[in-house]
Amino acid sequence: MFKLVGVLVFVCVIQTALAHFPTKGEVRINEVYVGENSWVELYNTLDVPVQVNGYYFKFLPKRPELDVSRISQTTIAAKEFLVVKLPSQVIPEGHLIFVDPSQEQILDSFTFGGVAANILQGSYYRSPDGGLWSEHKTPHPTPGSANPVSESLELASEFQVHVFNVGQGDSQLIVFPSGFTVLIDVYESNWNSNNGAEYVASRIREITGGSYVDVGVLSHLHLDHIGYAGYGGFWHLIEKENIQFGKIIDRDAGQWVDYNSDGLCDPDTEIQWNVVGTFSGTAANWLCYATDPANQKIYGIREIAELCSTTQINPPDTNGFVQIVSVDAIGAYMIDGTTPVTGNYSSWSVPPSENDFSVGLLVGFGNFRYVTMGDLDGDYDTSSYGYTYNDVEAVVAPRVGHVDVYHANHHGSSHSSSQGLIDVLRPTVSLISCGVDNSYGHPDQTVLNRLLNYGDVFLTSDCDTTRNYGTAERLNKDILLYSQDGDQYFVQGLQSHIRFTTTAKLPSTCSS
């Protein structure tokens, strides 16, 4: 009898030792139901059982009253499901996060605002299990069993623009019907933060079902657009989240030169600047990382943006394109009308703003046209912080022409989205990414009025709460735009999906 007990104990120890503890993406949030008796379903994507005892869920923004107790069940069998009850107070907003307690690591997340779910009753679900989120809820939830095959528009049949609700910064993912993806910018709030990259990585996996992005684009070298190398942003995506990029498109700010031949980049003394105005540790540390041949994950795939190119970012879709319409302020002049903004002004006491050098993209799908240009400036002024704004929008506008949708430059700043630019673009829809109660007053009221005069405006959050927003919709979630045919497109609003018809249709006139 004692020998048998010993064998049983030995077997249990062996089973525990062999238990697989899931890493990112291996156990996925597969279905979510919010209502009476709310619940979340997990799905084990592996061919082996996984142990999830002690793992738990939490909500972002953090709401203690919605904390979910730790999972008590030890394992989820291979290709099987686990249903966990949610608190009754859950409402469909914010983010539901699945967490590994050993490292407080996010394994998967679900963003209520990120899924184009309609207002019908039912559950949010992936189709197939562990795959892409369906565009619509299912009226027939399937807790603990296989999800239905989605009858909605799948990733493989539609064009999508996701503007992530990342606060006072920017990050967006463009997905073509072929599955070709373009990630523009990765927000971080602080130099030592990786929260933005964590969120963007989770959204990439949710939307694409994987960890591969065809092209990553850095609009310009500011913290709220690229993060700080060594901690967050693009660096964290590449080095810590294992997001793989086909290529990275960057601007020609400069490169590391190993002046003392020690093989280590000193960001304070060893950056040779090429095209630069204001610069900071964000820019210098990025160049230390990106231009060091030892960093093979980035060095071999990085390219400098080529003005007017349609081949650097080249989706395979026959009716899709991406054209670079601005980079390094090429073609723009300072207020004197003769000094080019492009150049090395690192020694100037009052240099141009880094915003002036933003990379801008014109994106086409069928007749649909979308433009996004980072923090590009559109007036002449001098900041009290010791730099100049230059009207780069004036030279970029004719390259772009009429568009359907405009992603507002510089979060709706008063120094961008000039009347001249908007009169050329004539956008039916404008999208603004900005943070709640931000200290910059974004969006500026004049800019907001200017955009509303041309069409509808959607914002990622409440932004500056003192503004008169009129008919603009402050979503407090990701902005989702999608189109099946390139003639009609939809924006997910507060209550419904709003349909628009393309009016642009004109080819770009960009020429370098």
Above 70 in pLDDT, residue 475? yes
Per-residue pLDDT band for 113 (boundaries 50, 70, 90) equals low
Report percent pLDDT > 90 for the chain. Answer: 69
Main-chain dihedrals φ then ψ at residue 35, nearest 5 degrees: 165, -150
Give a yes or no: residue 15 inside a domain. no
Which residues neighbour 65 within 8 Å (Cβ) at sequence distance 6 or greater? 87, 89
What mean pLDDT do residues 5-13 have?
Answer: 39
Amino acid in the structure at residue 146: A
Residue 37's CATH number: 2.60.40.1260
Per-residue model confidence as pLDDT tens digits over 204-257: 988 887 889 999 999 999 999 999 999 999 999 999 998 999 999 999 999 999
Above 70 in pLDDT, residue 157? no
Report percent pLDDT > 70 for the chain. Answer: 91
Per-residue pLDDT band for 511 (boundaries 50, 70, 90) equals confident
Per-residue pLDDT band for 35 (boundaries 50, 70, 90) equals confident
Above 60 in pLDDT, residue 31? yes
End-to-end CA distance of the chain: 86
Give a yes or no: residue 383 inside a domain. yes
Please give the pLDDT value at position 166. 94
What mean pLDDT do residues 315-332 have?
Answer: 96
Give a yes or no: residue 31 inside a domain. yes
| Average pLDDT score over the chain | 89
Query: Are 94 and 235 found together in one domain?
Result: no
Query: Are 87 and 231 found together in one domain?
Result: no
Give a yes or no: residue 465 inside a domain. yes
Query: Are 117 and 171 found together in one domain?
Result: no
Residue 475's CATH number: 3.60.15.10
Above 60 in pLDDT, residue 8? no
Query: Are 100 and 33 found together in one domain?
Result: yes
Per-residue model confidence as pLDDT tens digits over 359-397: 999 999 999 999 999 999 999 999 999 999 999 999 999
More confident residue, 9 or 334: 334
Per-residue pLDDT band for 115 (boundaries 50, 70, 90) equals low
- Other Cβ atoms closer than 10 A to 366: 20
Query: Are 202 and 329 found together in one domain?
Result: yes
Query: Are 108 and 164 found together in one domain?
Result: no
What mean pLDDT do residues 280-301 have?
Answer: 96
Which residues neighbour 214 within 8 Å (Cβ) at sequence distance 6 or greater? 180, 181, 182, 245, 246, 247, 315
Final residue before a domain boundary, out of 110, 125, 140? 125
Per-residue model confidence as pLDDT tens digits over 462-473: 999 999 999 999
Give a yes or no: residue 14 inside a domain. no
What mean pLDDT do residues 102-119 have?
Answer: 68
Query: Are 455 and 404 found together in one domain?
Result: yes
Query: Are 164 and 99 found together in one domain?
Result: no
Spatial distance between the Cα atoms of 447 and 444, rounded to a whole number of angstroms: 5
Above 50 in pLDDT, residue 11? no
Please give the pLDDT value at position 220. 98
Per-residue pLDDT band for 108 (boundaries 50, 70, 90) equals confident
More confident residue, 138 or 79: 79
Above 90 in pLDDT, residue 64? no
Per-residue pLDDT band for 114 (boundaries 50, 70, 90) equals low
Domain region containing 251: 155-501
Per-residue pLDDT band for 9 (boundaries 50, 70, 90) equals very low
Give a yes or no: residue 113 inside a domain. yes
Per-residue pLDDT band for 490 (boundaries 50, 70, 90) equals very high
Please give the pLDDT value at position 315. 94
Sheet architecture: strand order including 95-100 = 56-60, 95-100, 105-111
Spatial distance between the Cα atoms of 217 and 130, rounded to a whole number of angstroms: 28
Give a yes or no: residue 150 inside a domain. no
What is the domain count for the chain?
Answer: 2
Query: Are 45 and 185 found together in one domain?
Result: no
Spatial distance between the Cα atoms of 176 and 158, rounded to a whole number of angstroms: 7
Please give the pLDDT value at position 142. 92
Give a yes or no: residue 92 inside a domain. yes
Query: Are 119 and 171 found together in one domain?
Result: no
Query: Are 310 and 369 found together in one domain?
Result: yes
What mean pLDDT do residues 76-87 have?
Answer: 90
Measured CA distances, 212 to 70, 202, 208, 216, 507 (Å): 31, 12, 8, 10, 30
Which of 229, 235, 241, 230 is CA-nearest to residue 203?
241
Query: Are 182 and 112 found together in one domain?
Result: no
